[in-house]
Amino acid sequence: MHIASLAAAATHLAVRAQNAAVVLADIPNPAPTQPPGTSGIVTLMGWLKWGGFIACGVGIIISIILWVIHSRRGDDDEGISGIGKGLIAVVIVGAAFGLVGTLAGM
């Protein structure tokens, strides 16, 4: 008796899952379109990305200079950590806009 009730519950669950799949398949997924008059936002995003890369590049150059100065004193760790942080920041800036574009379907 217990096995029959489990089989019935499994069948009921399978039917519900199939019905849910049919309902979800009917939901439209329109492509995102840019609203009129918002082309300035895309330009602003490009400028922010450019500024982010410039800031990362300047940070890496400053870290290299500090690394050279500190290596003369024997403190090599100071500049190397800054270079690593700068490289991680470049990856984050580059990935941020790509991730938003991917999620938005652009």
Which of 31, 81, 39 has the alpha carbon at shortest distance from 60? 81
The span from the CA of 33 to the CA of 43, in Å, is 16
* pLDDT at residue number 106: 57
**pLDDT by 10s per residue, the chain, length 106:** 566 676 776 776 777 777 666 656 666 666 767 778 877 887 888 888 888 889 888 988 888 888 888 777 777 666 677 788 888 888 888 888 778 777 766 5
* pLDDT at residue number 29: 65
For the chain, give every domain's residue range: 2-104
Query: Is 86:12 a contact under the CB 8 Å cutoff?
Result: no
* pLDDT at residue number 33: 75
* pLDDT at residue number 25: 61
* pLDDT at residue number 2: 66
